[in-house]
A and B are shown apart, each in its own frame.
Chain A
């Protein structure tokens, strides 16, 4: 089976190659093999459209070379936040999808 792909050219992932020290942790934590290494161990973004903006790479980057607007790609969470974190529906997320660290109510997602 071919790998599932989401929308093209939407993700906010960015890499500052000057800051990269080549530790390789982003390669380890990325669940969709977005990164690859050049010969000099420096990392590059090889498959941007595979990124799901989970934020693992940016959080684990010791030099903050990676940035991404991390969030949960969940329509129900977006709707709930539009309704002011109202009653849980769908996957029942009640977090602000723009700020994954803010658990507004009892988290009931996924």
Chain B
């Protein structure tokens, strides 16, 4: 295992502990760090936003300084160091393949084996004289503290969930308050996840929209262009309405939407979105084609919103696998059936009637 490179853009210098040279970093984030955060949150090069695994010096640590462990996702690394202005500490970065602490712990890459191996390969056991190591609490699903103690001789201390509480935790003598140990899902914590959900949903929606636009011109009573304007454009608007309800409004309004299952929450907002869409569409209910089209929006939009809301379980902080499987058993067939029927009816309303 190679030591971390000195020429990474966020490395400000070097310190020289007993193991030779270790890269030094600052607690101040500069604009490339912030720009990198924005890009990662938007899904741009998110899977390659990494730092080299190994031991880093935050400030000027010595043999007595605390050792803080994190993942090699740069967002994780940055949130750790920026939470500790004016402090000296060792930062031990595990190789989690660029995944954040909690997700990597769930997969076991932020895990006992990697931690034990990295303590030795990084020279951490020679750099510090004490035998304490501080892990984020959310690393616990991947690390067995008693096994680390046995294999590496280090006592694992689980720090707070949020990096921003770390300074207080250290000042209290490595004691966390009950609030530090609770994983929340506040409005801002939910809002920051929306861009990535939206980008991924819109990628798929773009393909569907293009296909729908091309087909919409073929059927109907008028010229190709006029048909696209009359039917295709509204299909795209309805599609975007479903995406907005499921991937934006559901995360934002999560605690206030009725139901516990995410698909149910998405379904509720999708139905409301369908009502709004049909209101503006103002169909002529005397005509069969308009009746049929209205039914389409009440199938398609809620199905899409429910599916996207269901997918938000993966980003949420409190859903269990057993629960997700339970809601998927009824939600997924319903979403597929409603979505498929909606698409067929829409095609029918264009060609048959």
A contact set with B: CB distance below 8 Å: 1-2, 4-8, 10-12, 25, 28-33, 50-56, 59-60, 62, 69-79, 89-93, 95, 97-98, 100-101, 103, 106-110
Contacts and interface: CB of A to CB of B under 8 A. Distances in A.
B314 A109 contact: yes
B194 interface: no
Contacts of B39: none
Nearest to B322: A10
Contacts of B103: 72, 107, 109-110
Given A10-B326, A69-B322, A59 B140 contact: yes
B260 interface: yes
Contact of A12 (B97, B102, B183, B322): B322
Contacts of B142: 59
A22 B111 CA distance: 24
Contacts, number: 174
A75 B311 contact: yes
Interface size bracket, B side:
35 or more
Contact of B107 (A6, A90, A109): A109
Interface stretch (B143-151, B274-282, B343-351): B143-151
Contacts of B318: 4-6, 32, 50, 52, 73
Given A32-B183, A75-B310, A7 B144 contact: no
A67 B125 CA distance: 32
B186 interface: yes
A74 B313 CA distance: 5
B284 to A, nearest CB: 38
A29 B320 contact: no
Give the residue among B108, B138, B182, B328 with the most A Cβ atoms within 10 A: B108
A33 B107 CA distance: 22
